[in-house]
A and B are shown apart, each in its own frame.
Chain A
Amino acid sequence: MTSTTPTTTDPVMLAKDKLDAHVRETIAWHFSPATGTPYWIEYAKEHGIDPASIKTFDELLAAFDHFDADQVLRYIPHEKMIPKAFEGRPYNVFETGGTTGMPKQRVNWEDFQYDYTQFSKTLRDEHFPRGGNWLMIGPTGPRRLRLAIEHLAHCRDSSVYFVDLDPRWVKRVIREGNPAQAKGYMTHAIDQAMTILRHRDVTALFTTPKLLEALSERMSLVKLGIKGAFVGGTTMDPQYTRFLIEEVCEQPNGDSMGTAGVGFYPTYGNTLMGVAPHRDNIKENGWATTYYCPQPRAVLRVVDPDETAKTVEYNTFGRVELTTLTKELFMPRFLERDEAKRVEPWLEKYPWDGVSEVRPFGASTQKIVEGVY
């Protein structure tokens, strides 16, 4: 049963209805013998779940425990995770984690292209001029990111230069107490980026906040001809966000969407979720960066770490929980290694909960190794 009335105009309720409908569609897809995913069909049998009875997102939350990504995405054969509808089609394998031990892997056909095509609509032409070249300083290899960024650039008639980065190595040397080597690696990456920037016309950047900052220490991004930068991958607290906008991106009045400096587009996302755009009035929100996931394909909740069935109050920190609902991947209630502040819906654009001030889970009580990515 859905809770809506046919005449409601409340954007939050409408979004909820849309999500519930998407849940029914996704459940029907993944648990149907004709199109479904072997792992989930077996799971439902083993756990006594009647997929047909799940009609809403709330019912989905009640029916499924937290997805054990560490086990399933590391050790379950890919064949078990391939929906029957995709059987026989070659796929991409994308990895996440893997600093030590087996990385988590997901299979992908078209999800990232769809996600980034949608995301492209959030970028403004004045910051990401159509046809202008991009530079990405970040991990390529087994990551989704390289292909995703390239696809995004192509959506905007642009091409991308790449400087590769191995975040696993950076995290490892930091954990081993060798910050000098991590710094040397960062310098190595920035050296390569500067070489590209000296010899090619580049108008847009994608990298991490730390690398963006390091690049700007070499030369003014504005003088380098950069119009827009979108960043993600590591924590940005409000002060750091302000610093990046005002000083690194040289936006004198703190307007991240201004054109005097570099347009600043923070993003939150990963291989399992897709990509979440940010709310663009950063300064007015006390320099906090808020993200809204691409609902209904992904749903973020900020939950009480000690009682994960419950969300925390608005403007309170909790652990980030991700549910992915695409035809390629069904992943209910995965507890991310992040914590964030739960933020109220942005009624005009994204009428569902947002997450703000994302940081590694436990960052308020312990030092977490993030590296440069």
Chain B
Amino acid sequence: MSTPLHIPILRLGTTYRSVNVRQIKDLSTGETVAEMSVGNAGLLKRDTYKFADAQAALQAIPCEDLIAMSAKAGELFMNATLPLGDTMQTPGDYVQQLSRTSGLPHTLVRANMAKVHEALTHLDDIVRGLTRGISPEVLDRGFGEVNGTAVSFYPTTQALGMVMPSNSPGVNALWLPSIAFKTPVILKPGSDEPWTPWRVVQAMIAAGIPEEAFGFYPTDHEGSAAVMDVCDRSIIFGGEATMKRYGGDERVEVHGPGWSKVMIGEDCIDDYEKYIDIIVQSIAANSGRSCINASTIIVPKHSKAIAQAIAEKLAAITPLPNDDPNAKLSALANPKVAEWADSQITNGLQASGAVDLTEAARGGTPRLSTFEGRTYVLPTLVHCDSWDHPLCNSEFMFPFASVVEVPQNEVLDTIGGTLVVSAITHDDAFTADLLRCRDIQRLNLGPAPTSSAQWDQPHEGNLFEFLYQRRAIHMAGATSGDGR
């Protein structure tokens, strides 16, 4: 049996092999695919003295060049053979390794890969979207002019901390602009998904971005807390408990459950059949793992017929071999998480007023299922009689949604915090109400799946505004408006 490859810690330019390792295993066979160094929190705390140099290394490179290097990194990420510990990793290796250890089928790994590639190769658009068109030179000099007004921005942190999840490789796209914004990144990878952040970092280094701009610290709970301690700006992914803990802390941006929704207006509801595919895509894209997946479908009427139609389509999504080109469903890396989700739904259904329509559509196959040694929770659609049912507006890490009837004139007072709403309506008054709604972070008007994203439209926080603060500036003796 061959020695598993080792994924080390990257300490802003220095590679470090920890005594403690975490084994990352093939979900089907149990074989150890890699051992990942797991560092103690103190390693990162001691490395904070390198932050200033790391930031200076990026400051020395023009923003335009960093964008160009990022684009090159996108190509390398997609196509090149890159270092992985003491070995090299081809794109095919990456797909295999990530698929074997995360449960994502190759189709979804490649889709996520394409998402990261697109983000890197379109970083100019993203930067423009995030800065609302400010010239990159303004970031190089720290001051400049926008529409005739002098502006100056200063960094809010020496490094951006990222406490990453394991559920979806595509979320790495979120931190990519940080490099163009001249801010080093301190990555704490998800315990089961080091592959993507590691490969992105290697692609960026190969593209010419200084290696001291990257910290890659697989660590424990204490280490995660240290990331947020030592970085003046951090992004963390987590559930409601994480949101509660860090909510209101301006240093921390929490990406929690999205509670994303599809709504059909009264004016379109009689044509609901036209929108079933968009709803199914909203629920099941990326195997339902993203916060932008819809978890609640809100309609003014026809809820049972709509739920039945969705359920039949969802029930057709079944586990397939990981390399099957038609595979759409991911296994869950941790069977306990799968069991927990299944039991939550089973318990929820015991409260009256909800019915699982997918179970019947599947012919009674249990929701919790194994295939080729991997654990799956099969797509589930629940019809709820009331918004107050415990399963309504619930979110899980697999394709799950509830369908519920809420009168249109009550819906915006009901939904609560929602990351994405796809509102299918032509009603001007309802549209105006949607545009004014403070609970919606991203609004798709018209029949678009919640899972579609545009890079120049940040839907959950704005990384530039997180990493930079505008200051008033006056340069005595300068001609008004020349910005210098």
Give residues in A with beta carbon < 8 Å to B: 179, 213, 216-217, 237-240, 242-243, 247-248, 286-287
User: Does B46 sit within 8 A of A, measured CB to CB?
Assistant: yes
Q: How far is the CA of A237 from the CA of B21 in the complex (A)?
A: 12
User: Does B189 sit within 8 A of A, measured CB to CB?
Assistant: no
Q: Is the CB of B39 within 8 A of A247?
A: no
In the assembled complex, which residues on chain A have CB atoms less than 8 Å from the CB atom of B40? 239-240, 243
| Chain B 29-58 residues near chain A, CB threshold 8 A | 38-40, 42-43, 45-46
Q: How far is the CA of A237 from the CA of B43 in the complex (A)?
A: 14
Q: Please report whether the interface of chain A is mostly helix, strand, loop or mixed according to DSSP.
A: helix
Q: Is the CB of A247 within 8 A of B42?
A: yes
Q: Is the CB of A238 within 8 A of B45?
A: no
Q: Is the CB of A248 within 8 A of B42?
A: yes
Q: How many B residues face the partner with a CB closer than 8 A?
A: 11
User: Does B19 sit within 8 A of A, measured CB to CB?
Assistant: yes
Q: Is the CB of B42 within 8 A of A238?
A: no
Q: Is the CB of A287 within 8 A of B19?
A: yes
Q: How far is the CA of A242 from the CA of B39 in the complex (A)?
A: 11
In the assembled complex, which residues on chain B have CB atoms less than 8 Å from the CB atom of A243? 40, 42-43
Q: Is the CB of A239 within 8 A of B19?
A: yes
Q: Is the CB of B42 within 8 A of A242?
A: no
User: Shortest beta-carbon distance, B233 to chain A, in Å?
Assistant: 19
Give residues in B with beta carbon < 8 Å to A: 18-20, 38-40, 42-43, 45-46, 225
User: Shortest beta-carbon distance, A293 to chain B, in Å?
Assistant: 25
Q: Is the CB of B42 within 8 A of A237?
A: no
User: Shortest beta-carbon distance, A365 to chain B, in Å?
Assistant: 14
Known A239-B40, A240-B40: A247·B19 in contact at CB below 8 Å? no
In the assembled complex, which residues on chain B have CB atoms less than 8 Å from the CB atom of A240? 40, 42
In the assembled complex, which residues on chain A have CB atoms less than 8 Å from the CB atom of B42? 213, 240, 243, 247-248
Name the one of B20, B46, B225 contacting A239, with C-beta atoms under 8 angstroms: B20
Q: Is the CB of A237 within 8 A of B46?
A: no
Nearest residue (CB) in B for A248 is: B42
Q: Which of A216, A237, A243 is most buried by chain B, counting CB atoms within 10 A of its CB?
A: A243
Name the one of B19, B45, B46, B225 contacting A242, with C-beta atoms under 8 angstroms: B19
Name the one of A179, A217, A287 contacting B46, with C-beta atoms under 8 angstroms: A217
User: Shortest beta-carbon distance, A190 to chain B, in Å?
Assistant: 13
Nearest residue (CB) in A for B49 is: A217
Q: Is the CB of B46 within 8 A of A286?
A: no
In the assembled complex, which residues on chain B have CB atoms less than 8 Å from the CB atom of A238? 19-20
Q: How far is the CA of A237 from the CA of B42 in the complex (A)?
A: 13
- Supplied contacts A217-B46, A242-B19, A247-B46, 12 more A-B pairs, CB within 8 Å: A179-B225, A216-B46, A237-B20, A238-B19, A239-B18, A239-B20, A239-B39, A239-B40, A243-B40, A243-B43, A247-B43, A286-B19
The total of Cβ contacts below 8 Å across the A-B interface reads 28
In the assembled complex, which residues on chain A have CB atoms less than 8 Å from the CB atom of B43? 243, 247
19 contacts between A and B (CB under 8 A): A179-B225, A213-B45, A216-B46, A217-B46, A238-B19, A238-B20, A239-B19, A239-B20, A239-B38, A239-B39, A239-B40, A240-B40, A240-B42, A243-B40, A243-B42, A243-B43, A247-B46, A248-B42, A287-B19
In the assembled complex, which residues on chain A have CB atoms less than 8 Å from the CB atom of B20? 237-239
User: Shortest beta-carbon distance, A93 to chain B, in Å?
Assistant: 35
Closest 9 CB pairs of A and B: A239-B19, A239-B20, A238-B19, A240-B40, A213-B42, A239-B18, A243-B42, A287-B19, A243-B40
In the assembled complex, which residues on chain A have CB atoms less than 8 Å from the CB atom of B225? 179
In the assembled complex, which residues on chain A have CB atoms less than 8 Å from the CB atom of B38? 239
In the assembled complex, which residues on chain B have CB atoms less than 8 Å from the CB atom of A237? 19-20
In the assembled complex, which residues on chain A have CB atoms less than 8 Å from the CB atom of B46? 216-217, 247
User: Shortest beta-carbon distance, A103 to chain B, in Å?
Assistant: 28
In the assembled complex, which residues on chain B have CB atoms less than 8 Å from the CB atom of A286? 19
Nearest residue (CB) in B for A210 is: B42
Nearest residue (CB) in B for A241 is: B19
Q: How far is the CA of A238 from the CA of B19 in the complex (A)?
A: 7
Nearest residue (CB) in A for B18 is: A239
In the assembled complex, which residues on chain A have CB atoms less than 8 Å from the CB atom of B19? 237-239, 242, 286-287
User: Shortest beta-carbon distance, B158 to chain A, in Å?
Assistant: 16
Q: How far is the CA of A216 from the CA of B46 in the complex (A)?
A: 9
Q: Is the CB of B45 within 8 A of A217?
A: yes
Q: How far is the CA of A216 from the CA of B42 in the complex (A)?
A: 10
Nearest residue (CB) in A for B43 is: A243
User: Shortest beta-carbon distance, A224 to chain B, in Å?
Assistant: 16
In the assembled complex, which residues on chain B have CB atoms less than 8 Å from the CB atom of A213? 42, 45
User: Shortest beta-carbon distance, A231 to chain B, in Å?
Assistant: 14
In the assembled complex, which residues on chain B have CB atoms less than 8 Å from the CB atom of A287? 19
Nearest residue (CB) in B for A236 is: B40
In the assembled complex, which residues on chain B have CB atoms less than 8 Å from the CB atom of A216? 46
Q: Which of B19, B39, B45 is most buried by chain A, counting CB atoms within 10 A of its CB?
A: B19
Q: How far is the CA of A7 from the CA of B19 in the complex (A)?
A: 44
Q: How far is the CA of A239 from the CA of B20 in the complex (A)?
A: 6
In the assembled complex, which residues on chain A have CB atoms less than 8 Å from the CB atom of B45? 213, 217
Q: Which of A179, A247, A286 is most buried by chain B, counting CB atoms within 10 A of its CB?
A: A247
User: Shortest beta-carbon distance, A57 to chain B, in Å?
Assistant: 35
User: Shortest beta-carbon distance, A244 to chain B, in Å?
Assistant: 8
Q: How far is the CA of A115 from the CA of B277 in the complex (A)?
A: 78
Q: How far is the CA of A243 from the CA of B40 in the complex (A)?
A: 8
Nearest residue (CB) in A for B37 is: A239
Q: How far is the CA of A237 from the CA of B19 in the complex (A)?
A: 9
Q: How far is the CA of A78 from the CA of B38 in the complex (A)?
A: 48
Nearest residue (CB) in A for B45 is: A217
In the assembled complex, which residues on chain B have CB atoms less than 8 Å from the CB atom of A217? 45-46
Q: How far is the CA of A242 from the CA of B17 in the complex (A)?
A: 11
Nearest residue (CB) in A for B225 is: A179
In the assembled complex, which residues on chain B have CB atoms less than 8 Å from the CB atom of A247? 42-43, 46
Nearest residue (CB) in B for A247 is: B46
Q: How far is the CA of A287 from the CA of B17 in the complex (A)?
A: 13
Nearest residue (CB) in B for A213 is: B42
User: Shortest beta-carbon distance, B252 to chain A, in Å?
Assistant: 14
Q: How far is the CA of A243 from the CA of B42 in the complex (A)?
A: 8
Nearest residue (CB) in A for B221 is: A367
Nearest residue (CB) in A for B19 is: A239
Nearest residue (CB) in B for A217 is: B45
Q: How far is the CA of A243 from the CA of B18 in the complex (A)?
A: 9
User: Shortest beta-carbon distance, A352 to chain B, in Å?
Assistant: 27
Q: How far is the CA of A247 from the CA of B18 in the complex (A)?
A: 13
User: Shortest beta-carbon distance, A219 to chain B, in Å?
Assistant: 12
Q: How far is the CA of A37 from the CA of B42 in the complex (A)?
A: 48
